Structure formats: C-alpha cells, structure tokens
Structure 1
C-alpha cells in the first residue's frame, strides 16, 4: 500500500515465500495493488522476484496490466509487458482488454505502449463487438482515437468495423454530436460516410432524425463535404407522399386556375390554420401558479407576521397571574393586534383554498377542456391572487416600525391599487368576453361568420 521497497526486501529476507502466501486469501495480489496505486519501483521488484504475478487475475478477471493501463501508469505498463506481452489479449469479466480500458480512460501513453508491444491487441473486440476505436469515440477520447487510428492506418476495413448494432465509429460520433471526432475521422481515415447500421440508417440519417443540437449544421456540412447523401430515408418517404398529394390535387388546382382567368381576380390564397393548444398551455400555467400560491399560503399560516411565542407566560416572577398571558407556539400577532391577525388569516385562507380548488379541478378528470370552464378557473385564480396581494399588504403593515410606516404607507397603497387595478381590468375584460359568448350562444347576437380556408379577394369595381 505504501510502495516501500525497503520493507518488501526486509519481509522477503524474513520469509522468502511470503509472495506465495500474500494473496492466498485476497482477491488482488500485491502486484495488483502496486499497479492500482502506481508504485512502479515496488512493482518492478515484485516482477523480479516472482514474474508469474503478471499473469495472475483477481475475482473480476483483471490482471495487473488491466489496472495499470486503466490508471495510465506507463512505467508499470512497460514492466508488465516486458514480462508477458500476451496479457494485452486477456479479457476481464466485462469482456475488455487492457487496451480497451486505456481507450475508455483516454490514457494515450499507456495505449501507445500496448500497441507497440502487441499490435494485434487493437483487433481484439469486446463482448459487444466493439473495437478500441468504438470505445474511444463513445467516451469522447480524441487522443486515444488518434493513437489507434495511426496504428491501424493501413487497414481500411478495421476503421469501418461495425459493432453488434451495425454502428461504425462515425455512426457513434454523429449520434453523440462529437464534431472534432467527426472531422478527424473524415479527414484522416477512409471511413465510409454512407455505410448503414443494423437499422438501415447512415450517419447523415442519424443526424437528421435525431434530437436537434447547435452543432448539427457544422456536422451536416462535414458529412456533405465527405460525400454523404443529403436525403434520408424518412425524408424520401415524406417527399414521395408530397408528390402523390400534388398529383392528386392537380385537377383541383387546374380548375381554380381556370376560374381565376375568367374572373380576373387575385390569386387564391390558402389560409393554413395553425394548431395552438391554448387550453393546454393555460392549464399548465394555472397548475404551476396555483401550486406556488398554495405552498406560500401554507407557509404563511404556520409562520405569521411577528412569529410565535417561544415560551409560556402565565404568571410573573412572584407567581401571580399576568394580565396578558400567552402560551408557546401561539401567534404573537393574535395577541398584540387581533383585528389585523383575523384579516391576515381570512385573506390567507381564502388564497389557500382558492389555489387548492384550482389544483383539484385540474387533476379531477372532469371535462374541463372548454373555454368556459377555463374562464371559471381563471376567475378563481384571480380571487386567489387578489387575496394573496391583500395578505401581503396586511403582513407588511404589521411588521413595519411606526416611524417608517407613514412613508411606506403611501407607496404601498399606490402599488396595491395599481396591482388590483390591473387585476380588475383583466377580470372585467374576460367577463365581457364571457357575456358576449353567452349572447352569441343563445342567439341574442349574430355570431361571427366563419371564413373558409380557401377564399378569393375581389377587387372593387369603379363603376
């Protein structure tokens, strides 16, 4: 654990067979521990005394080389490779070699040593059919990718190797939006940009059909310069449907064109009705505001202005009953200013109950999808906001000292009046809208004429 070579030599003098017994009841050998902690001198002495430790595996199937490569301890990697370079090809319980672990962790120097001692280690695949290239890209290790590409530069087939899902390293880089890796693969390898994975998608199609990102345009330009096809399968299907729809609409368009020529009117304009989920947005906004108001109102009821008494006070120091007793946990404001306390609690309770009513209506499952029901909920919300505004005013007056209250009073009242006035204007406007809807619904007012989606604007005749 300390990496002390001196203590190791003393222990070996006392018991030359200690290395045979040191790991008999442990998972890791002393060499595993030295490789994990980076004690290169200690590891070198262990290998000199007992070289076969380099081939020992722990319960996870990992050798000391696995640990040293994952940590990037280059000196220990060299010593282990000098003893047994074939350990580069050993898979641990997760199906990974030391080279795979170095690629995942981005330990470029250790990776370079592994490739130099055992070049064929680059061809070993994981249980999922992934090469070191795949693992480098998956974990965004550009340095490891460059080192591996240089080692297999002459093997175009291996650069285009696909994992069990049929993905090449370019598929993975595009899916993870790794722009630098995409540029490197395109400019420095003979990667096939139009290769398809097991689902039949090219790298360009993964980009076009995946989630949007700010780097999409740059990635698309890189792929197009490399010769990637612009049109994806999904786009081609959509385009073929558009062509069919155009062909089906052609007789109707020809007829419209003939009418235009006869009437000498302006071109026909199609008004596309945009779908807006107005009610859905209103419901979401109401739920958020109602939840916030209910939370604040609940907190205010438990912590009223002025706080609560911290101890009982029923008798004085002589044991005589006091004139104004109180008990711990009760509101201070209730004793000092009962009228304002009642106003505060009534208004706060009104805001709390109104907010809970909104939440209950929204989660009740009742058919609240029509505008009239949404207006009812908005009215309740206005009641909650108005009550909460008044609650704030009462609390502010209560906790403000008298010498500041005179100046604060005028400003607060003006602000309060402006706020309530805005609420009143919005409330009045919606009441008028509801009245107009009611009058139209029952025939007292002629309803608005519905405009067709296809209309013709006629020019005025001077005659």
Structure 2
C-alpha cells in the first residue's frame, strides 16, 4: 500500500484521500491487484472506526466491499464486529450478498454480530438478508452451530430474541451442532434460565431430542449437579414442557431430588483447606492468647490493689511484695483461676508448636487435634475471664453476675460441643471409609485365584 494512502487511512483524513486520488486516480485500483492476504484501506478504516473515511472509499471504489483480509474477513465482518451501523448500511447498499460470506472460522457477518451482541447491526442485516441467519458455521474439524447456538453459547439473549423475531426457523430451531446438541441442550448446560424458558415457549422446540451421546436436555441437567436451586428451577420448567430422561443415572437424579441429603454429603466430603487459608491468622490468635494468659498469670487485676485500705501506709519499695502477697491470699482459696489460665497458656503454646513443627497438618487426624486444641485454648481464656470477674465482683452484685456469667458459659460450652461433635463425626466417617477400603483390599488380596482355560478368575 502506498505510504501516503496508509497514513491518510490511519488518520481517517478524508481530505488527504481526495488529494491523493486527484494526484493519482488509479491509487485505489492498484489495491485490488495486490494479494488478498493484506488488509485494504477499507479494512483499516473500519477497524479504526473512521466511518466517513470508509464511506468515502466505498463511494470511490465500491469493489473493495468484497475484498477479504488475511483471516478471510470482509469489511462487513469487521463493521459487524465493531457495531458500526453507518458503515454496515453503506456496505449493504453496495453488496448485500456479503452477508453470506464466511471468514476463516466459518462465520458470516450475522454470526459475528450475534456473538458480539450488536443488536442494531443485526437488525439491519436481517432486514437485508434474513436467509443468511439460516446458515450454519462451516469450519474445519467441527462447526455445525447455527446462529441460535452462538447466541446462547455467548450469552446473547437479546440477540437471540431479535433473530427469532425476524427469521422463521420452523423445524430448523432443533438443528444440532457437531456434538448433536440443540440450542436447548446448550442453554440447559450453561444454566441460562431465562433463555431456556424462552426456548420452551416456542411451539416447534423439541425438548426430548438426544445428542450424539443419547442425552436429552433433562439428562444434561441431571449430569451437572451444581447450584441446586437453579437446577431445580430448570427441572420444573422442563417438566412442564414434557421433558423426559433418557439415560441419566439414578444416583444423580436422587441427589438433585433430595437437596438436603446432598448438602449433608457435601458437608462431610468438604475439603479441609481452611488451615492453608487461615494458618497465619491462627498463629496470631494463638500468640495473643498466650500473651494474655501469661500477663494474667503474673500480673493480677488492679482492683485487688485498689481494695487494699492500708496500701498508703506501706513504703513504696515494699508495695510490690505486699501487692503479690495480697493477691495470693485473695486467690489461693480458688485454684480454678490458675488451673484454667494455665490450660489456656499451654494450649496456645501447643498450637504455635504444631504450626511450626513441620508435621503433615493436612492429615485429618492432625487437623482434628489442632482444632480441638484451638477450641480448648479459646474456651479456657474465656473461662479465665469469667472466673476473674467472679472473684473481683463485690458481694452485693455477686448473685446477678453469677447468673449472667453462668448462662453465657453454658451457651459457649454448647457451641463448642456442637462444633467438636460435627468435626468428630466428619473424622469418624472418613476413618470408616478408609477402614472399609482397607478391608476390601485385604479381602481381595487374600482371596484365592484359580486359572480356567488360560484366564485368571477371581
């Protein structure tokens, strides 16, 4: 391409184009004699969105509307992809048959517009050549998709409605792609509820057409087993339309029909990846609990000091000793404070040690042990606080505080027991499954084999 023409095309300068044509009237004619693997100025102008420049080139050289680039894309392909309605109208006036031209992917301009969701462009081409919407994608090693398949595959619901409103597909709406899937198969497989219900409202749609694997749309629904609420909604819509199963496994059907059982099974089989996500946070929590337990153990609450009426009579140097002596006398009658606090301190240190030990913590037994120790540490520090509050509460308010703390501790213990029970059940179920597999393997290894006619029969 002439460098001056290329520069004018990049800039979209219509005046420069006019000057070049006046200087060399054959400058655009030479383009059509070059190899078809190069983009013409019209291709470049459309890709850059220079609408006036592209229309000026079309007025000067209409034959460029039929030229193909290196991907066998026509100017109408590019204008459809860009969604430039003005250029599309100009191209359709010159050569509307280019709606049937296929690029290297086997798609015509209507296919491209549908994939990109260019609604206005799609309407213009459907008005000019509605039959082009009936063409299927034609490419090597596959294809066979209709424009309806492409609309659903690329989640272009509005484009699907525009095509259906402007083209009479008749029985062709049930056409199948290279895998034998109809447009309804694709919509159900992708969980597109709105699209599925729209397709089911069309009288000519066939809900029980099997694909190459012999699966109907209902079979595909049962095979997915994801997002139970959406699947059940689709199942109800398909049932109302008379959809039937063909070869879906009963187990899958049972899982979808009983979401509570399926949810419980998913809970038991949930992957214990929480440690990888919360390892750093758990280390921080354990360190914080150890710090609090250590501090409470060696530095009792200040209320004890404040309650000592004779503290002002003691010399400053002797006050720390007197302070500890008073605190010891105050708490020595109730050893539970130090027992619970020490339990919290040792449990938190154990968590830190386990996290830094390099042991295979992804093992379910170690994982269970770590969770139990964590619960012990948290519960012990909570009980330490409760006991300290009880010991430091004046006798006049002791009864009300006992009621509040007793109720709170009871709720807390119930919650911890529930969590411990749930994880223990999960661990038990896993261990039972492993045990059953080991027994089956042992029985298989110990079962004698006999040879019959050159074959081994177990």
Is TM-score (shorter-chain normalized) higher than 0.5? yes
Residue number in structure 2 paired with 1:193 = 207
Counterparts of 1:56-455 in structure 2, within 5 Å, are: 56-126=67-137, 127=139, 128-153=143-168, 155-210=169-224, 211-229=226-244, 231=245, 233-234=247-248, 289-294=278-283, 354-355=351-352, 357-358=354-355, 363=360, 368=365, 374=368, 376-378=369-371, 380-381=373-374
- Does structure 1 retain, via aligned residues, the 8 Å contact 2:347–2:374? no
Q: 1:189 to 1:100 in 2, by over 3 A?
A: farther
Separation of aligned partners in 2, 1:279 and 1:97: 51
Other structure's SS at 1:234 match = coil
Separation of aligned partners in 2, 1:212 and 1:294: 35
CA deviation vs aligned residue, 1:177-196 (integer Å, no higher than 9, x gap): 22222232222351101111
TM-score by length of 1: 0.56
Other structure's SS at 1:18 match = coil
Separation of aligned partners in 1, 2:158 and 2:413: 64
Q: Does 1:9 align with 2:6?
A: no
Separation of aligned partners in 2, 1:13 and 1:363: 81
Q: 1:89 to 1:287 in 2, by over 3 A?
A: closer
Other structure's SS at 1:188 match = coil
- Note the residue ranges of structure 1 that are not aligned, 5 or more in a row: 241-271, 300-346, 390-416, 434-463
Separation of aligned partners in 1, 2:232 and 2:201: 18
Separation of aligned partners in 1, 2:267 and 2:217: 38
Other structure's SS at 1:368 match = helix
Deviates more, 1:42-51 or 1:16-25: 16-25
- Does structure 2 retain, via aligned residues, the 8 Å contact 1:287–1:359? no
Separation of aligned partners in 1, 2:67 and 2:239: 50
- Does structure 2 retain, via aligned residues, the 8 Å contact 1:88–1:98? yes
Separation of aligned partners in 2, 1:142 and 1:163: 19
Residue number in structure 1 paired with 2:55 = 44
Q: With CA pairs under 8 Å and 6+ residues apart, which has the higher RCO, 1 or 2?
A: 1
CA deviation vs aligned residue, 1:12-36 (integer Å, no higher than 9, x gap): 2233333356797994322113223
Q: 1:173 to 1:11 in 2, by over 3 A?
A: same
Cα distance, 1:161 vs structure 2: 0.5
Separation of aligned partners in 1, 2:246 and 2:269: 33
Separation of aligned partners in 2, 1:40 and 1:384: 71
- Does structure 1 retain, via aligned residues, the 8 Å contact 2:179–2:211? yes
Other structure's SS at 1:100 match = helix
Higher helix share: 2
Cα distance, 1:105 vs structure 2: 1.3
- Note the residue ranges of structure 2 that are not aligned, 5 or more in a row: 1-9, 255-260, 289-343, 383-404, 422-458
TM-score by length of 2: 0.57
Separation of aligned partners in 2, 1:279 and 1:219: 27
Other structure's SS at 1:91 match = coil
Separation of aligned partners in 1, 2:129 and 2:271: 65
Separation of aligned partners in 2, 1:278 and 1:2: 61
Q: 1:156 to 1:295 in 2, by over 3 A?
A: farther
Residue number in structure 1 paired with 2:28 = 19
Over the residues paired in the alignment, what is the CA RMSD in angstroms?
Answer: 4.8
Separation of aligned partners in 2, 1:99 and 1:11: 34
